[in-house]
Amino acid sequence: MNHSNYFFIKLLFIACFLAFSLFPFSVLKAQTDDTPIIQDPLLEIETVPSISSLDVEDTLSLAEVYEVIYQYHPLIQKAKLIPALAIQDIRKARGMFDPTVMGEWTEKQYKETDYYQKQLVELKVPTILGFDLKAGYENNSGVYLNNEATVPSEGLFYAGIELPLLRNLIFDERRATLRKAQVFAEMAQAEQQKEINKLFFAVAKAYWEWNASYESLKVAEEGIEVAEFRFKSVKGAYQYGKYRAIDTTEALMELQKRKVERLQALVDFEKTRLALSGHVWSEDGEALFIKPTIAPSSMGSQIEKFDLQSMLATAAEFHPELVKQNFKLNTLKIDRKLYQYSLIPQLDLSYKPILYPRTADNLALQEDYKFGLRLYAPLFLRKERASFAMAKIKIRQQELDLNFTQRDIQIGVEQAYIQVNRLAQMVELQRKNATNALVLRDGEQTLFELGSSNVFMINYRERYYLDAKQKLIQLEMKYAKAKAELLWNAGQNEFVDLRNQD
């Protein structure tokens, strides 16, 4: 090797040495007292909103949310009107049994001749037993009056009965309509409960998402507080030569990363708060918003034990959808019964004794009367037989729908039950995992303070601990939502239970 090559290699070695020696000072340049450590104002601690800046005034439990929603939510108010509508259907059906008064006055005058003058007043009283009571007054006069309409000058009173002897004796359309209206009223109660359960399930999911976002925000705040303290400590120790300049950069990067995570947590908190606010209304029907200074409560998220067989039995008996399906089947059976009796010939009897008014306060009962029989019998009964056959087919279809719904609800309850139990186990394990992660973090912190660890390791341990807490929050949210889903699948809601706990 000649002298010139040796000199060139020596210069290259000196240049590399100087570059590596000066690199820490270039890194530290952005961290001196004269130059701000963080140039972007969005990353300044004071400009990033936090829980402490929200000044939490009070907490809002799920039971309190349910109470407000049950009192004032428009969908609940709408659901409460369903039974009232059904009651009016019953009133309408009962109107077919209302007594009626009919009056008729007809006369004819032609070329100064009184052809006829007819007066008729009749009271009809339908009964729930199938027959009708009738009473009336008839007075007719005139030159060309039909002989059949001739009555004494003082008129005639009559009272009697119209009685079906075959068809409509045991069951008729009026009684069928009333019975179906009564069944529909009971079905309306189930429909009301179904709508309430559906809304409460949606509210429960929104509430626990709000709760989880709030808890996640607190964890992010905790992470920033520790990272900020560590950055300041590492920076101060570096000035005394305890840490390298690159350690301060790593501590700064961790702080910035956690600030980004806190901003995302704030976004999630605001979004979930507004989502839950969409269910909150005032007594006057005005939309309300949950204030940012109101925090959620964890009441209702505790681990509970459920009995699967009890849940299945409750769902089979009280699930609103099954109750509706059963009532619908009952209405179809009412139609089948009506069409079955329509296969019988119609034979109606009418009997009206005739009363002669002698004085204003005395009616003379004579042996005069009106009597009649009316027969109606279709020869082929095609309409009646088709209606009866269609009723039986519809009943079979409804029975199949009912069986399918029962099976679907049973599977839904079992799936939700499995999910609740498995999530409960996951929550317990994750709590232990978070506890152990805290032990590791604290141990690493002790080593760090003794100089036996570094910034990378303490950040790693702390990151694992924070992630474990965030995962625990998510699992607790999933468990709380799974409980609400289990009750919803069983046809229940948490409103009464949580109100008692509160």
Average pLDDT for the chain: 84
Q: CB of 264 within 8 A of CB of 49?
A: no
State pLDDT tens for residues 179-197.
Answer: 999 999 999 999 999 999 9
Taking the alpha carbons at both ends of the chain, their separation in whole angstroms is 90
Q: How confident is the model at residue 438 (pLDDT cuts 50, 70, 90)?
A: very high
Residue 48: phi, psi to the nearest 5?
-95, 120
**Which residues have a Cβ under 8 Å from the Cβ of 200 and sit 6 or more positions away?**
66, 69, 484, 488, 493, 494, 495
What is the rounded CA–CA span in Å between residue 266 and residue 261? 9
Nearest to 273 by CA among 54, 480, 468: 54
For residue 357, how far is the Cα from the chain centroid?
67
State pLDDT tens for residues 67-79.
Answer: 999 998 998 888 8
Q: Report whether pLDDT(269) > 80.
A: yes
Alpha-helical runs (H) found in 45-73: 51-54, 62-72
pLDDT of residue 111: 82
Q: Report whether pLDDT(436) > 80.
A: yes
Give 31-90+176-333+395-501's CATH code, choosing from 1.20.1600.10, 3.40.190.10, 3.40.50.300, 3.30.413.10: 1.20.1600.10
- Give Cα separations from 296 to 17, 59, 64 (angstroms): 59, 5, 11
What sign has the CA pseudo-torsion 227, 230, 234, 235?
positive
Q: How confident is the model at residue 275 (pLDDT cuts 50, 70, 90)?
A: very high
pLDDT of residue 199: 93
User: Residue 371 forms beta bridges with which residues?
Assistant: 351
Mean pLDDT of 356-385: 77
Q: Hey, where are the domains in the chain?
A: 31-90+176-333+395-501, 101-129+131-167+346-380
Other C-beta atoms closer than 10 Å to the C-beta of 75 total 15
Write b or e for each residue in 348-379: b if 16 or more Cβ atoms lie within 10 A of its Cβ, otherwise e: bebebbbbbbeeeeeeeeeeeeeeeeeeeeee
Alpha-helical runs (H) found in 239-307: 245-277
Q: How confident is the model at residue 33 (pLDDT cuts 50, 70, 90)?
A: very low
Q: How confident is the model at residue 404 (pLDDT cuts 50, 70, 90)?
A: very high
Q: CB of 413 within 8 A of CB of 315?
A: yes
Q: How confident is the model at residue 10 (pLDDT cuts 50, 70, 90)?
A: low
Q: How confident is the model at residue 39 (pLDDT cuts 50, 70, 90)?
A: very low
